[in-house]
Each structure stands twice: as structure tokens, then as C-alpha cells.
Amino acid sequence: HAATFNMKIEVEDAGTWGSRFYCGAEPPAPDATGPPTPEPGVFITGMRLKRMVAPSDPGVDATSINAVEFRCMNAAQNPPVPPTVGSATITSAEGEQGTWTQWHDCPAGSAIDAVHVRTLPYDRNVDNLGITDLVFDCRKLQTDAEGLHEPTGNLTTGCFNADHGRK
């Protein structure tokens, strides 16, 4: 389950850039030798995206996903509660265009476990969007009889899938 968000992007003509964010922990000191110890039970449990819907106006640079913000909660509590240490939200770098979607949260007792990124194939004849969607899988914190964390669904831009993350 996710308690740290680390993004590293390598762009051929723009170099490498990225940041690291922590749920339920203060940022480490510059001379720290490792990551901070997060508050027990605190994970990334929800998200929202800053999204620019591709306009039909010529000359407008369509950018699609311009940021992601995560909600950090102590998912071991019922109902989940904000962490007592560190921030309750962590946000990626943010582009100017777009509007924020509503928050989408994993069911109680579960947290974000994986991410899937969707992009469109490159087409040199159109304005390419880059990332067009992010889908986050949720899994229960507690293990089942076989020691596995059962999927509880997935979060995406505007819907909670009723297939419980199986498709």
C-alpha cells in the first residue's frame, strides 16, 4: 500500500525531474540517510486530478492531466482519520490549465496499492495530450485466509468502477 509518492520523469529534450512526498510523516532533513518513518496505518486512500479537457479551438495546447493530489488517511481506523503527523494531502507539480475533479476515495479499510497510466499513441499530425488518465487500484489493508490483500476497486477521473477492479 502506498504511503510515499515518488515521481521521476525522464524527457528526452528536457532532462530528468521529480519529487518525493510522504503521507503521515514530516519531510526528512536534507542530511537524512533514509526516508522518514510514517505514522502507522497512514496510507494514500484517495485522489483527484487536475484535468484540461481537450478544446476544439485551434492554437490551444491541449494538456489533459496537469496534476494529481492524494489524500492521506489513517486507513486502519474506522472511519479513516487524517494523520496526526505531516500533511493530509500531497500534490504533484501542477500545470496552470485545467480544473480539479471531485475527490475519489478507496472504500473504508483499504488504500491505494497500484497505479496505471494511460497515454494516447504519438501522432505528429495532432496536438498530443501526454497522460490522458490515471487509474489507482485499491486493496484491503487486512489479508484474507491466503495472506493476500483483496482488491476493492479502482479510482479514476470521474467513476468508481463497479467491477471491483477485476477488468
pLDDT at 149: 76
Q: Is pLDDT above 70 for 7? A: no
Task: Count the Cβ atoms, other than its own, within 10 Å of residue 35.
Answer: 14
Distances in whole angstroms, Cα of residue 158 to Cα of each of 27, 48, 137: 31, 9, 14
Residue 25 CB burial class (10 angstroms; 0-12, 13-18, ≥19):
buried
Using CA atoms, how far apart are residues 108 and 73, in angstroms rounded to an integer?
10
pLDDT at 164: 30
Residue 2 CB burial class (10 angstroms; 0-12, 13-18, ≥19):
middle
Q: Which pTM was predicted? A: 0.73
pLDDT at 161: 33
Q: What pLDDT digit, counting tens, does each position of 112-126 carry?
A: 888 887 777 777 777
